[in-house]
Amino acid sequence: MADYEGIDFLAVGSLPAPRVTTADAERIARDEFGLHVSALSLGSQQDANFLLTETDGTVVGVLRIANPAFTHAEIDAQDAAAERIAEREPDIRVATLVHRDGVPLAATVETPDGPARARVLRFLEGGTLSTKGYLSPSTMASLGDLAGRSSRALVDFDHPGLNRRLQWDLQHSNEVVAHLIGHVSDPGRRERVAEAAASAWLAVLPVAGRLPRQAMHHDVADTNVTCRTANGIVTPDGILDFGDLTHSWAVGDLVVAIASVLHHPGLEPASVLPAVLAFHAVRPLSSDEVAALWPLVVVRAAVCVMSSEQQVTLDVNNHYALEAMAEEWAMFEAATEVPTAVMTALIRERLGLAGPARAEALEEGLLRGLVASEIEVLDLGWDSELMDRGSWLEPHAEESLAAAALASGAAAVVTRFAQPLLTASRAMATASPATVSTGVDLWVGEPTHLVAPWPGDVVSLDDGFELRGVDFTLAVTGASLAGHAGTRQINRGDDLATMSAGARVHLSLRMVDAPRVPALVRPEYAPGWLALVADPSPLLGLSTSHDTRNDDLLHRRDHSVASVQEHYYDSPPRIERGWRHHLLDTEARAYLDMVNNVAVLGHAHPSVADAAGRQLNRLNTNSRFNYGALVELAERLAALAPDPLDTVFLVNSGSEAADLALRLTLAATGRHDVLAVGEAYHGWTYLSDAVSTSTADNPDALSTRPEWVHVLDSPNSYRGTYRGAESWRYAHDAVQMIDALAAGGTPPATLIAEAFYGNAGGVALPDGYLSAVYSAVRRHGGLVIADEVQVGYGRLGRWFWGFEQQGVVPDVIAVAKAMGNGHPLGAVITSRDVAERYRTQGYFFSSTGGSPASSVVGLAVLDALRDEGLQANAAGVGEHLRRRLLALAERHPLIGAVHGEGLYLGVELVRDRVTLEPATEETYAICDRMLELGVVVQPTSDRMCVLKIKPPLCLDEAAADFFVDTLDRVLSEGW
Ligand code: PMP
């Protein structure tokens, strides 16, 4: 112990936990501190911890018997550091020393392993982060923030007890590895750990001398961080166990924090980036610290697995250590999943720090005899027309597109560098597929010589060769290469190999010191990989192209679009393409679209696109001209409506349709009063908004409706005033209200209601509700409107219109959304009589309502709905989906109910199945997690606690299963 006053792990060699039983703990508490408590062992790797509880259940604190190897000064330092953090960061809960009557509960006690310090420390409620399963980006950010603030609080902390050498101290990890590696029993694993630790250490060495040092907790790990959980959202806000307090590289606090969570379900290296960003915001990282960060994560993981293996052999009964070992291996696997150079470059990019200077200038002339103008660039990105009509899903799409380009005269075909390739996308994948190209693919029409663009060494690979130069290594891989065997030195202009006609090779250009780079990488890691490579296109005489269009779109949106015109998600992906029930972002990630009732047929439906395209080439004008499509569409809609609804108005949206429907009824009756139901949305125009009562869309809706709007109690049979068998009372109360209005001299002109309660989350109205209410309104001379904007048009499966479910016929139907498959199109369908009475208001004109283009789209939608049997599909797949969701509800108490019919379903999430407390925050968080796993789903209802499920009607069973399985995973793993 020459250099260290405290523990020197490398001198001691091992630290088995002190042998103290719960009976010993209770005795210590009584004899030393006068506490009459029961003790519960909490487990620890190198100390002994017991939760002390009084007979009435009051928790006194945690009795911690430190390892006898630690000195008094070391323990004092830990308590002083805890106090320091508690003082400087009052928002952080800290496991400080408990005092009774001003006296600290600390004493030296005898253990079978010698005298040890025993203290009672503050117990932090809420459980530790280690038990929380999946951790969301915001939880991760809180963890980074916590580590950063702890580090900041201790920056000037000093104490003699810091003079110690722990096995955890990253400064000593190279020696610790040498010391412990023998404990890894499996030789293969031993070699991997040793190798990973050694190469990570090599990356640390150049900056080691410049890494800032300070006093630090050095174990802000998931097991030592306690959480506050409010509304299902986990926030780390407490720190315990200062046993590893030391003076070391400050970055270590972040290293330990992020390494500790890598084994959590659903997490991967990129998941910890929010923690890094949050730490950096509190306690900025230097460039050297960034260089050391991920290598130290690998080193930390290596030390953890070795220590666990050692601890398990030391003490076969230490279950805590045994359990920890599996997690530590998972941590090691995750830490080494992506090369450290990639992680470092990725972290630099995310922190906005410049990377090391890199060579760029490249010579052209790789292909002998080919000039750039003869080479066709194959665009496989999101906005390429080649990707239309779902071609990205076809097997070998790239091959056939390249072959077609060669056949039509190109001498060579080349893909784009750094482009997310749609052809590499996969529908329904919970992890983003590797889509971003790190090189280019090349096809040639005729046999072509590849020549060396610079002098260097040629080395054969299994599937090609590499040319190693001064700055870059050019890797050429592919099946049809000839003449490259062996290792040799080569001059500029020498032959490298020959490509045969039609053959495909992959060209990749990486920095000489970079690891081998896969041809495609996942978008989350792309900035990291792309920092290690260069665009090979200049070798072919082509200019470099790096798409940066994504960079600030949301920022631009925030500046140019009114913020009240909101978007889905706080951090939405950029969605630029759709196909059937899939949406694609610009990184070529496919999402299952469970929310898009607008795209009823599916996205980018060919017949709709063709119809619109043909019409736009021919004529598009306002609807006062006489042309066929408008008439045909009106005839088709009238034919779909029950008698006597035979007259159609064409408009552009649901709001307009609802607005016009209301105007028609006001005009026809000459009255002013309107009935609406609670929890409903009908649009944003003055009139449709006046009858909208949903507090989710407008929190003040109920208190600000005009006096002529009379709101019926929301007939929600799941959670409204009347539930289940009592739900018939809604109709009874509504009829009374209508009678009272009439008796009071204000009989309603109309009632507007969704015929199936869409905005409440797909809840069917109580049986007989509309029949009773319609009759009452009509009895007093009023008319009734069915708002079918959301639920109509076949979505309910069993019925084309929602009102059919209630066995009623309205006087006016308002319809939109599905009508145009996303193209703005709406309609009002009513009787000739009601329509004619609008004359009192002048005449009706909507410039583009029913324009030629809109009308042909409307017709194409109706044709496809019929020809593709989509209503029947909604019934079949919807029933399958509903059954599976009901089965899920049996296993997950959070699901309070599954509402709906066909492909209009709602999964209502509640915190308690008796009180029905809405799980609003959980619903939002679940939607965010579902997005990460490749599913677009959103909350609805006044309480925003219902997952609204209204996908394109082409949804198939496989997609329905993917949705349910993914939801199951989220509900099981956490969100
Ligand atoms: N009615 C209902 C029932 C709706 O759900 C909506 C839109 N959510 C509208 C009307 C208004 O339709 P749009 O957004 O097309 O104006």
* Closest of 739, 719, 630 to residue 678, by C-alpha: 719
* 326 vs 156: CA distance, rounded Å: 37
Indicate whether 610 belongs to any domain: no
Distance 814 CA to ligand 1 centre (A): 10
* 301 vs 223: CA distance, rounded Å: 15
Atom of ligand 1 nearest to the CA of 791: 3
Atom of ligand 1 nearest to the CA of 788: 3
* 714 vs 701: CA distance, rounded Å: 13
**How many whole angstroms from its chain centre is CA 408?**
42
Query: Which amino acid is present at 960?
Result: A
Residues 115, 131, single domain; the answer is no
Residues 900, 843, single domain; the answer is no
Residues 343, 451, single domain; the answer is no
Q: Given ligand 1 and candidates 565, 817, 904, which is best to mutate, with the most ligand atoms within 8 Å of its CB?
A: 817
Helix (H, G, I), strand (E, B) or coil at 233: strand
* Closest of 680, 808, 664, 835 to residue 754, by C-alpha: 680
Indicate whether 278 belongs to any domain: yes
* 233 vs 34: CA distance, rounded Å: 39
Distance 703 CA to ligand 1 centre (A): 21
User: Which of 852, 886, 913 is the last residue before a domain boundary?
Assistant: 852
Q: What are phi and psi of 504, to 5 degrees?
A: -120, 130
* Closest of 525, 361, 9, 485 to residue 218, by C-alpha: 9
Distance 290 CA to ligand 1 centre (A): 50
* 324 vs 772: CA distance, rounded Å: 64
Distance 164 CA to ligand 1 centre (A): 68
Report the nearest-CA residue for atom 14 of ligand 1: 654
The domain that holds 881 is classified in CATH as: 3.90.1150.10
Indicate whether 660 belongs to any domain: yes
Helix (H, G, I), strand (E, B) or coil at 237: strand
The domain that holds 29 is classified in CATH as: 3.30.200
Both tokens of 616, joined, read 């736009």
Q: Is the CB of 659 under 6 A from ligand 1?
A: no
* Closest of 254, 263, 276 to residue 308, by C-alpha: 263
Residues 107, 146, single domain; the answer is no
User: Which of 319, 349, 379 is the last residue before a domain boundary?
Assistant: 349
Report the nearest-CA residue for atom 12 of ligand 1: 654
Q: Are strands 826-830 and 647-651 parallel, antiparallel or unpaired?
A: antiparallel
Q: Given ligand 1 and candidates 656, 677, 682, 828, which is best to mutate, with the most ligand atoms within 8 Å of its CB?
A: 682
* 131 vs 264: CA distance, rounded Å: 9
Q: Name the residue range of residue 383's domain.
A: 370-538
Indicate whether 2 belongs to any domain: no
* Closest of 938, 946, 961, 959 to residue 916, by C-alpha: 946
* 688 vs 651: CA distance, rounded Å: 14
Residues 275, 214, single domain; the answer is yes
Indicate whether 873 belongs to any domain: yes
Which residues, listed in sequence order, are joined to residue 938 by a DSSP beta bridge?
948
Atom of ligand 1 nearest to the CA of 658: 10
Return the sign of the alpha-carbon dihedral for residues 462, 464, 469, 471: negative
Indicate whether 139 belongs to any domain: yes
CB 504 within 8 A of CB 443: yes
Distance 657 CA to ligand 1 centre (A): 9
Place of tokens 């779109």: 553
* Closest of 507, 66, 392, 475 to residue 243, by C-alpha: 66
Residues 412, 341, single domain; the answer is no
Residues 253, 395, single domain; the answer is no
Return the sign of the alpha-carbon dihedral for residues 180, 181, 185, 189: positive
Q: Is the CB of 682 under 6 A from ligand 1?
A: yes
Residues 216, 266, single domain; the answer is yes
Residues 779, 671, single domain; the answer is yes
List the Cα angle 332/336/338 in 5-degree steps: 145
Report the nearest-CA residue for atom 5 of ligand 1: 790
Indicate whether 217 belongs to any domain: yes
Q: Is the CB of 201 under 6 A from ligand 1?
A: no
* 11 vs 1: CA distance, rounded Å: 7
Neighbouring CB atoms inside 10 A of 846's CB total: 17
Residues 884, 921, single domain; the answer is yes
Report the nearest-CA residue for atom 13 of ligand 1: 654
* 547 vs 332: CA distance, rounded Å: 34
Atom of ligand 1 nearest to the CA of 758: 3
Sequence-distant (6+) residues with CB within 8 A of 728 are 722, 766, 767, 768
Q: Is the CB of 655 under 6 A from ligand 1?
A: yes
Q: Given ligand 1 and candidates 681, 803, 823, which is best to mutate, with the most ligand atoms within 8 Å of its CB?
A: 681
Q: Is the CB of 658 under 6 A from ligand 1?
A: yes
Distance 313 CA to ligand 1 centre (A): 66
Per run of 10 residues, the mean pLDDT along the chain (length 975 residues) is: 73 82 95 95 85 95 93 94 98 96 94 92 95 95 98 97 91 92 93 97 97 97 94 92 95 98 97 98 98 98 92 76 87 97 97 81 81 95 96 94 96 96 97 97 94 92 90 87 76 90 93 95 97 94 72 90 94 96 97 96 98 98 97 98 98 98 98 97 97 92 94 96 96 98 98 94 96 98 98 97 98 98 98 96 94 98 98 98 98 98 98 97 97 98 97 98 98 96
Q: Is the CB of 681 under 6 A from ligand 1?
A: yes
Atom of ligand 1 nearest to the CA of 826: 15
Give residue 2's pLDDT. Answer: 46
Q: Given ligand 1 and candidates 566, 789, 823, which is best to mutate, with the most ligand atoms within 8 Å of its CB?
A: 789
The domain that holds 133 is classified in CATH as: 3.90.1200.10
* Closest of 709, 712, 669 to residue 688, by C-alpha: 709
**How many whole angstroms from its chain centre is CA 966?**
12
Q: Is the CB of 692 under 6 A from ligand 1?
A: no
Residue 906, by phi and psi: left (phi above 0), alpha (psi -120 to 50) or beta? Answer: beta
Indicate whether 575 belongs to any domain: no
Q: Is the CB of 790 under 6 A from ligand 1?
A: yes
The domain that holds 723 is classified in CATH as: 3.40.640.10
User: Which of 520, 538, 556 is the last residue before a domain boundary?
Assistant: 538
Distance 942 CA to ligand 1 centre (A): 15
Peptide bond into 644 cis (omega under 30): yes
Q: Is the CB of 816 under 6 A from ligand 1?
A: yes
The domain that holds 460 is classified in CATH as: 2.70.70
Q: Given ligand 1 and candidates 568, 653, 655, which is best to mutate, with the most ligand atoms within 8 Å of its CB?
A: 655
Q: Is the CB of 822 under 6 A from ligand 1?
A: no
Residues 481, 416, single domain; the answer is yes
Distance 159 CA to ligand 1 centre (A): 66
Both tokens of 621, joined, read 């004008």
Residues 767, 842, single domain; the answer is yes
- How many domains does the chain fold into? 5
b vs e for 22-38, b when ≥16 Cβ sit within 10 Å of the residue's Cβ?
Answer: eebbbebbeebbebebe
Q: Is the CB of 787 under 6 A from ligand 1?
A: yes
CB 803 within 8 A of CB 788: yes
